[in-house]
Amino acid sequence: MDGDLLRTQGLTKRFGGHTAVSGVDLAIRQGEIHCLIGPNGAGKSTLFKLIVGTHTPSAGAIFFQDQDVTGARPYQRVQRGMSIKIQAPSVFRELPVRLNLRIALQHHVPRAALAAEEDRLLELVELTADAARPAGQLSHGQQQWLEIGMALALQPRLLLLDEPTAGMSPHETHRTGELIQRLNAQGMTVLVVEHDMTFIRQIAQRVTVLHFGKLFAHGTIAEIVADPRVAEIYLGNTHAA
């Protein structure tokens, strides 16, 4: 559909005998916050990695801004306007916080404006006081925020977040939700893979539900929350696996 920033068509991934993702058609509209949910083992992480480019699909295609990126390597997708925060905290642990941001910024921002941009991002992720410390010394939640800051530094069209609130306290989770909403209000399109239903209810506009690697349901957050089938797959009334 036109106006879709990101679209997958029949996306499938097989690992040996196991099909992790099967024939998924996903559509992310420009300017929305879209959440990808599903029980454990549903294939959310695999789908995320297919979109990012870490895995190559066994079948199907991925379109970003109506251009086929199925064969593109991750760095090429990033150059086209995706920005990615993967699940495991991965900042440059030995390097200072400020340098982490600089590496994300340096290709998009002229040298003279670098320091000012770094300061702006430091303030946004509330790490101004820790700018000189090695990133590995930050708390878990702070590292997640630093990563979000680095993802934002790329000035992306589409922000992809894989479980950004993993390991965060409820308070930090809520603040992360507020940050994402602020960004979205300024026009950022966001795809979030998440487990935390409170967080999803806080931020999601549209939701896609995966189950056993297949597209199970999709719609607005209100529709999904009200759907009894979705509750069932989480609570386990379906046939045993």
Structure token digits, residue 30? 């420009």
Binder among 1, 2, 3, 17 for another protein (CB under 8 A): 17
Binder among 40, 111, 185, 240 for another protein (CB under 8 A): 111
CB of 200: closest distance to another protein in angstroms? 24
Taking CB under 8 A as the rule, does residue 94 contact another protein? yes
- Pseudo-torsion of CA 100, 106, 111, 116, nearest 10°? -50
Region of 19-27, 92-100, 117-125, 223-231 interacting with another protein (CB under 8 A): 92-100
Taking CB under 8 A as the rule, does residue 150 contact another protein? yes
In the bound state with another protein, the residue whose beta carbon lies nearer, of 96 and 219, is 96
- Cross-sheet strand order for the sheet of 214-220: 82-85, 158-162, 189-193, 33-37, 206-211, 214-220
The whole-angstrom distance between residue 199's C-alpha and the CA centroid of its chain comes to 14
If you search the block for the tokens 């399109």, which residue do you land on? 189
Taking CB under 8 A as the rule, does residue 78 contact another protein? yes
Taking CB under 8 A as the rule, does residue 171 contact another protein? no
Taking CB under 8 A as the rule, does residue 16 contact another protein? yes
Contact yes or no for 192/176 (Cβ under 8 A): no
Taking CB under 8 A as the rule, does residue 109 contact another protein? no
If you search the block for the tokens 């390097």, which residue do you land on? 95
In the bound state with another protein, the residue whose beta carbon lies nearer, of 20 and 104, is 104
Binder among 56, 90, 181, 237 for another protein (CB under 8 A): 90
* Beta strands in 156-238, from DSSP E residues, in sequence order: 158-162, 189-193, 206-211, 214-220
Taking CB under 8 A as the rule, does residue 75 contact another protein? yes
Taking CB under 8 A as the rule, does residue 183 contact another protein? no
Closest among 51, 79, 75 to 157, alpha carbons compared: 79
In the bound state with another protein, the residue whose beta carbon lies nearer, of 103 and 197, is 103
Contact yes or no for 3/30 (Cβ under 8 A): yes
CB of 195: closest distance to another protein in angstroms? 22
Closest among 164, 230, 192 to 26, alpha carbons compared: 192
Give the residues lining the site for another protein (CB under 8 A). Answer: 16-17, 52, 54, 73-75, 78-79, 84, 86, 90-96, 99, 102-104, 106-107, 111, 150, 154
